[in-house]
Chain A
Amino acid sequence: MTVRTAFLTYFALIALLALTVGPSFLPLGLANPVINFGIALAKSALVAVVFMHLGRSGSLLRLLLLVTAGGVLVLFAMTLLDALTR
Chain B
Amino acid sequence: MDNASAFADASRELSLWIGTTNTFILLTSSLAAALATIWSRAKEPTKARWAMLATAALGCLFLALKAYEYADEFGRGLLPVLGEDFAYSGSDQQHARLFFETYLALTLVHALRLLSGIVIMLTLSAAWKRLGQPDAATKLAALYWHFVDIVWIFLFPALYLVR
A-to-B contact residues, CB < 8 Å = 1-3, 6-7, 9-10, 13-14, 17, 20-21, 24-25, 32-33, 36-37, 39-40, 43-44, 47-48, 50-52
Contacts and interface: CB of A to CB of B under 8 A. Distances in A.
B76 interface: no
A21 B27 CA distance: 15
Contacts of B30: 10, 13, 47, 51
Contacts of A44: 150, 153-154
Contacts of B23: 17
Interface string B128-152: 0000000000000011001101100
Interface residues of B, number: 26
A2 B35 CA distance: 8
B34 A36 contact: no
Given A47-B30, A48-B150, A51-B33, A14 B157 contact: no
Contacts of B163: 24-25, 32
Contacts of A20: 157, 161
Contact of B142 (A10, A39, A48, A51): A51
B40 interface: no
B107 interface: no
B115 interface: no
Contacts of A17: 20, 23-24, 27
B157 A52 contact: no
Contacts of A36: 157, 161
A14 B27 contact: yes
30 contacts: A1-B38, A3-B35, A3-B38, A6-B38, A7-B31, A10-B28, A13-B27, A17-B24, A21-B20, A21-B161, A24-B16, A24-B161, A24-B163, A25-B163, A33-B157, A33-B162, A36-B161, A37-B154, A37-B157, A40-B153, A40-B156, A40-B157, A43-B153, A44-B154, A47-B30, A48-B146, A48-B150, A50-B34, A51-B30, A51-B33
